[in-house]
Amino acid sequence: MQIRWLEANEARFADYARLFPELGVNDPLPAPAEWLANMGPDLVFLELDGAVVGYGYAQALASSGYVRHVVIGPQARGKGLGRELMHELRRRLAARGCSSWQLNVKLDNVPAIALYRSLGMEPDFRTWVLRVPAPAGLPLPASPTLRCSEPPASSDATLEREFDVPSGLLARHRAKPATRLLLFERDGSPIALAPFDPHFPGCFPFRLRDPACSRAVLEQLLAFVPVDRAYLQLVLERDEPSARLLLSSGASLVFEIQHLQGPLHA
C-alpha cells in the first residue's frame, strides 16, 4: 500500500468534486478558481497506489487547527486511511504553529467519533445546522429595533472574544471577497454576529445572544440571499434555545453535529 500526499491544484478539482458528496452536507460546489483560491492552501489529497481516494481540509487559526473535511472514498475505507489522513493534517497544523485542533462530526458517525477520540479529542458542544426558507422567512414574534453594521477588521479580535469565535476565523471570512461580516446591536450592545457567505448562502458561525431578536436579524440576512436560492443556512453552536425557537417556527434541521477538540500532540 503506497500513499502519497498531493497538494491542491486545478487538476485536483475533479477529485474534490467527486469526493465532496461523501460528506453528506448537500452544500453547493464552489467554482474551481474560487475553490483553489479560498480552500487550496489548506487542502491535501491522499493518493493510494496511484489513485486519489481521499482528502483533508484543515485551517490553521492562530494556535488552533480547525479540521473542516476528512473524506475517504467508499472503495478505500476499512484500511486505516482516515487515521493516516488525520496524522497528516496534524503534522501540517503543527508545522503552522497550532497547539490544539478541533472539528465537527455528525452525531451518527460513530466510527469517526471513535477515531477522533483515539487521537486525543473530546466532545465539547453541540451544533445545529438549520435552513430558513427564503425569501419568506419565519413567523417569529416582533423584535426590538436593531442596528446592523459591517465592523472594520480592527475590531475582529474584540468580536471574537465577545462572541466566543475561534481566533483568526473572522479574518478568514474577510479574505473571501463576497462574504459580509454583519454585527447587530441593540442600544449599543452586541446582539448577533453573522459572517454571511452568499455561496451557501448562510452564516458560519451564527451567534445570537437573545432569541427575542431573531426576527430582526433574520429579516436583514434574508435580504442578502441571492434570488435564485431558496434558503438561508445558519450554523448555531452551543445555542439550543435559538435552535429550538427557529425549528418550532418552521426552520428545517439539516443535521445536528458534535464538536470535538483536544491538544494537537496528544
pLDDT score recorded for residue 1: 81
Q: Is residue 72 part of a domain?
A: yes
For residue 85, the enclosing domain spans 3-98
- Judged against a pLDDT cut of 80, whether residue 71 lies above it is answered with yes
Number of H helices, E strands in the chain: 8, 13
Q: Domain tally for the chain?
A: 2
The domain boundary, picked from 78, 98, 118, lies at 98
**Are 48 and 165 found together in one domain?**
no
Do 134 and 250 reside in the same domain of the chain?
A: yes
116 assigned to some structural domain: no
* 265 assigned to some structural domain: no
Measured CA to CA, the distance from residue 229 to residue 226 in angstroms comes to 6
State whether 143 and 230 are in the same domain.
yes
Q: What is the CATH number of the domain that holds 38?
A: 3.40.630.30
The residue written with cell numbers 477520540 in the block is 117
pLDDT digit string, tens, across residues 225-240: 999 999 999 999 999 9
| Structural domain contains residue 90 | yes
Q: Which residues of 246-259 are buried (b: 16+ CB within 10 A; e: fewer)?
A: beebebeebeebbb
Looking at the domain assignment, is residue 75 inside a domain? yes
For residue 266, pLDDT beyond 60: no
Cα Rg, the chain, nearest whole Å: 19
pTM above 0.85, yes or no: yes
Q: Give the pLDDT confidence of 145-164 residue by residue, as tens digits.
A: 999 999 999 999 999 999 99
Rounded average pLDDT over 42-61? 98
